[in-house]
Amino acid sequence: MNKPTVINIGLCGLGTVGQGVWKHIERSLPELKARFGVKLELYRAAVKDPKKPRSVEIPASKLTTDALAVATDPHVHIVCELIGGTTLARDVTLAALKAGKIVVSANKALLCEHGVEIFAAAKKHGGHFLFEASVAGGIPIIKALREGLIANRFTLIYGILNGTCNYILTRMVKEGAPYAEILADAKRLGYAEADEALDVQGWDAAHKASILAYLAHGVWVKTDQMIVDGISRITQTDLKMAAQLGYCIKLLAVITRDFATNEISVRVHPTLLPKDAVLANVNSVFNAISVTGDVVGTTTYIGRGAGQDATASAVISDIADAITLLTAGKAVVACAPSENQLRGGAEAPKLAPLGHIRSRYYLRMTVKDEPGVLAQIATITAESSVSIATVIQMAAERPDAASLILTTHQSDERAIRHTLTDIAKLDCVLEPPLLLRIGDFQE
């Protein structure tokens, strides 16, 4: 191949991350030229408003409002899709790939919804799609799964993938403040969006879990095929009870595969982790991921999961891979493990039914403070074959009620759902029960 002497980079989107990418590349141009032997040019950036004040100074001649023009410009070698969303971002990505370009993206929602289409377009037209920044910000988990751990079959991957939820839970524990108060602070500080549902209801973590499941197992699991619960109903009672039981609560994404049955499950939910677990001690906006492979054992990755610099670091890492591809012809390791059969055989794994997804459970109920309540609940759990391990009763926030907290022995999602449905119908149960999973992970 003819080695280019200048590599032009086009940015589609110049928000917080885009400005970070521009700033750090511009600062490092001499070092990058010395390392790769070519000149890099920040060639063009597509923005909504060229006159908007920004933290980086960019010549007006390099700004445009036409993202598709950047994506298809024959002078642009690497297209950074930093728009967000799944509409224009999809159009830009597919247009660039159809032109045979390399696309670098931080867009987990786009990848989760349109990953099959994107990788098919890259393969058909000779383009490449790199997405290190789409999961866990500055933690190089994508490279770890597709390159460093390529010899492994992964039985368990679990992690803290949303810094907003981790920040809220950390402050709730440290300060004893209620969820709503900490959420308001998180919005004010920019850790949570104005519409916080994507973060606190678990959907952001679910998008990232979908990407990790694809990399580890070669199949796309959509969010509507997962168990997805958020943190909005967690109270100080739950945090204190977890501590009393020897746990802390973290919002986790959990991906498991049983190679004997060739079944996979992907779920996102608040989880009681033993206090001495590594991830139980990862706090504030940090992310952490534990990966268990059959060759390497368990490895753990911790770092900043969001923010301008952490995400820009991951984007620039992919840009460096793209430069190597353009200058040396070095192939980027295939993103689709289903194509190289290194993830457990020729057959793609199937989704585990609810009856095969097992855990221990924590169940909090607000009930009438009267005799016979526990007997009614115990009858229902017995009928669903859910075995109670511990029972704790304490005063509830409302004066006419009590909080009843149960933990269970090993059960499964189907049985516990039946239990919850029947308990919620009891006259003595005053609010919908809260269910949390207990993460005694076997690594």
- What is the pLDDT tens value at each position of the chain, 443 positions in all? 567 889 999 999 999 899 999 999 999 999 999 999 999 999 999 999 999 999 999 999 999 999 999 999 999 999 999 998 999 999 999 999 999 999 999 999 999 999 999 999 999 999 999 999 899 888 999 999 988 898 999 999 999 999 999 999 999 999 999 999 999 988 888 777 777 899 999 999 999 999 999 999 999 999 999 999 999 999 999 999 999 999 999 999 999 999 999 999 999 999 999 999 999 999 999 999 999 999 999 999 999 887 888 889 999 999 999 999 999 876 554 455 544 434 455 588 999 999 999 999 999 999 999 999 999 999 999 999 999 999 999 888 788 899 999 999 999 999 999 999 999 999 999 999 999 999 988 65
Among the candidates 67, 98, 130, a domain finishes at: 130
Shared-domain flag, residues 111 and 193? no
d(CA 201, CA 192): 12
Shared-domain flag, residues 420 and 396? yes
Return the residue matching tokens 């950390």. Answer: 170
Q: Residue 301: in which H helix or E strand, if any?
A: strand 297-304
Distances (CA, A) of 195 to 184, 198, 199, 232: 11, 7, 9, 13
Shared-domain flag, residues 68 and 157? no
- The pLDDT assigned to 442 comes to 65
Q: Which two tokens stand for residue 42?
A: 């920040």
Q: In a 3-state reduction of DSSP, which class is residue 297?
A: strand
Shared-domain flag, residues 158 and 82? no
In the chain, the largest separation of any two C-alpha atoms, in whole Å, equals: 83
- The pLDDT assigned to 440 comes to 87
d(CA 134, CA 111): 8
Shared-domain flag, residues 153 and 87? no
Cα angle 94, 100, 103 (rounded to 5 degrees) comes to 55
- The pLDDT assigned to 191 comes to 78
Boundaries of domain holding 423: 357-438
Shared-domain flag, residues 157 and 271? yes
Residue 328 lies in a domain: no
Among the candidates 130, 158, 186, a domain finishes at: 130
Among the candidates 104, 130, 156, a domain finishes at: 130
**CATH no. for residue 258?**
3.30.360.10
**CATH no. for residue 22?**
3.40.50.720
Distances (CA, A) of 229 to 92, 261, 365, 413: 32, 26, 17, 13
Sign of the C-alpha dihedral, residues 143, 148, 154, 156?
negative
Residue 229 has φ and ψ, to the nearest 5°, of -125, 150
- The pLDDT assigned to 268 comes to 98
- The pLDDT assigned to 169 comes to 97
- The pLDDT assigned to 100 comes to 95
- The pLDDT assigned to 338 comes to 47
Beta-strand runs (E) in 75-196: 78-81, 102-105, 128-130, 154-160
Residue 330 lies in a domain: no
Residue 267 lies in a domain: yes
Tally of structural domains, the chain: 3
Residue 326 lies in a domain: no
d(CA 110, CA 94): 11
What are the DSSP calls for 262-277, one per residue?
TEEEEEEEEEEEETTS
Residue 194 lies in a domain: yes
Shared-domain flag, residues 186 and 279? yes
Shared-domain flag, residues 33 and 87? yes
- The pLDDT assigned to 346 comes to 58
- The pLDDT assigned to 186 comes to 86
Query: Structure pTM?
Result: 0.91
- The pLDDT assigned to 291 comes to 97
Q: In a 3-state reduction of DSSP, which class is residue 414?
A: helix
- The pLDDT assigned to 339 comes to 45
Q: Which two tokens stand for residue 90?
A: 């999809």
Q: What sections of 218-356 are H helices per DSSP?
A: 236-244, 308-328
Shared-domain flag, residues 183 and 240? yes
Contact 358, 412 (CB under 8 A): yes
Residue 171 lies in a domain: yes
Shared-domain flag, residues 155 and 243? yes
Shared-domain flag, residues 75 and 150? no
What are the DSSP calls for 99-116, one per residue?
TT-EEEE--HHHHHHHHH
- The pLDDT assigned to 334 comes to 45
d(CA 342, CA 153): 7
Shared-domain flag, residues 289 and 186? yes
| Active site members | 208
Residue 320 lies in a domain: no
**CATH no. for residue 382?**
3.30.70.260
Residue 37 lies in a domain: yes
